[in-house]
A and B are shown apart, each in its own frame.
Chain A
């Protein structure tokens, strides 16, 4: 069974601080996606990483896919209150259907 574990589960920081969220598995994934979800809404895709060792940047967000394609990280620089939300990593399932295996999420609160 493929599982993704995210850490930490909860993070409360002050505006301007940096943070890193981790997504780990014992399974290899051919791709991994990061989503952000606000209360009462569906997840919104931030990035897809495909190649082991790949690094992608989205403004103040940096995403990295592990060399072995078993883990990933999301680093936010100078967090802002607008970054508050639930961050989810998701890996492609073992079938060819495109179904995703999600981590349990990291709830981030950025205080002004």
Chain B
């Protein structure tokens, strides 16, 4: 297992389009997190899964955002009707007890 994988690494989309990102966590990790990071800022929490259950969502996660983790393995984050303000790095992380492992992120640019 080589760590947390995110796909794609980069995505450029037109405003109004839908995008979906995938995260493959470390296989034995039961906790999975999504964060968003804009330039010059620290990551901001979006949502958290324990196994397949989505247990917490940030107020940042508007109704255009949805995340899933079917079967408690990989996770997807979908953004519908993208806006320019959605441009950011979307980071996925997984953990077992403590100490996160982050993926390399998906850089989204909405034009």
Interface of A toward B, CB cutoff 8 Å: 4, 6, 31, 33, 35, 40-45, 48, 88, 90, 93, 95, 97-105, 107
Contacts and interface: CB of A to CB of B under 8 A. Distances in A.
A95 B56 CA distance: 9
6 contacts: A33-B100, A42-B91, A42-B102, A48-B98, A95-B56, A102-B44
A41 B104 contact: yes
Contacts of A4: 42
B42 A98 contact: no
Contact of B45 (A42, A99, A107): A99
Contact of A45 (B33, B42, B99, B107): B99
Interface in B62-111: 91, 93, 95, 98-105, 107
B43 A102 contact: yes
Given A90-B42, A105-B40, A98 B105 contact: no
Given A42-B93, A98-B31, A48 B99 contact: yes
B-side interface mostly: strand
Contacts of B40: 104-105, 107
Contacts of A48: 98-99
A99 B33 CA distance: 8
B105 A42 contact: yes
A98 B95 contact: yes
Contact of B102 (A6, A44, A97, A107): A44
B55 A98 contact: no
A7 to B, nearest CB: 13
Nearest to A101: B45
B48 interface: yes
A3 to B, nearest CB: 11
B105 A99 contact: no
B41 interface: yes
B104 A93 contact: no
A104 B95 contact: no
Nearest to A88: B42
A105 B41 contact: yes
B31 to A, nearest CB: 6
A97 B55 contact: yes
